[in-house]
Structure 1
Amino acid sequence: MLGRQAFEETPARHYTALLMSLFPYLCNWAKLGNANEGIQMMGQAGGLVFSVMITWLFCLCIDSDFLKATILSFAAFGYASSGNEKFGFYGKEDHEYNNGWCWAVPWSLATVFFAAQVGLQRAGVIQGPYGENCSEEVQKIET
């Protein structure tokens, strides 16, 4: 019932992002093969929080709202580089689940990428966020 409501309340252009929100949970489920590991793969890195953040980020990308995507990516970088997961290399610290750097590097690269897109939008090279400079064809698809 929750899945049906999610699709009923979500604009059709965001269906892909909604489906991608399942990815962190599928990763956790696949990793549960070893009883000793549990959900430590994404559990410590915040599988639920990551799922919400990545869904939100995909929706922002679909809408070409790169300024908000830059801010969200920077916040995700801060989240990934804090807490139980410290920067370091796999197996070099006192526990083997030291994967904070594995999350922090992609989030920092995403921050730089989205910031570049904001610059291109302000320069008029690419289209602005959905709704502001939205073409008539896209608006017809939505209605």
Structure 2
Amino acid sequence: MKKRLKASTLLEVLVAMTIIITCAGVGLMAISNLSRDLNGDIRIEGDIYLRKVMADSQFENDYADKTFEFENIKIERSVQQYQKSTRLNLVILEAYTISGKKIGTIKEVILVNPLKQDQKDEYKDAHNPVPEGYK
């Protein structure tokens, strides 16, 4: 004798579909987060290069608009006048992947034409209240 199976009710079907869709959604979110974390390495590398370019710019006192290219990263430096000041500039560094995706930005306000070392010495000598024999 053949045993007859009961048909599922509409409520059971809806519950089963909800469970399946929830599991699929959680799985897709996990995969999405993993792929986003893999891009974290390139973001860290971009941040390192941004800081390096900013430090080199400050050391060399070079603030012209320029593009730097490294292995996997391209950095664009742009300089703008800061809030109508003649002595302050805004330096913007932006890092991009080779495919053109933006991965980081640094903005810093800098003083235009700070005193060079020989000018600092002249300034210090001119404004030093101690007589020359007592240095």
What range describes the TM-score normalised by the shorter chain of this pair? under 0.3
Tell which has more relative contact order, 1 or 2 (C-alpha 8 A, sep 6+). Answer: 1
Structure with higher Rg: it is 2
Q: Point out the structure with the larger strand share.
A: 2
Q: Point out the structure with the larger helix share.
A: 1
TM-score normalised to structure 2 length: 0.24
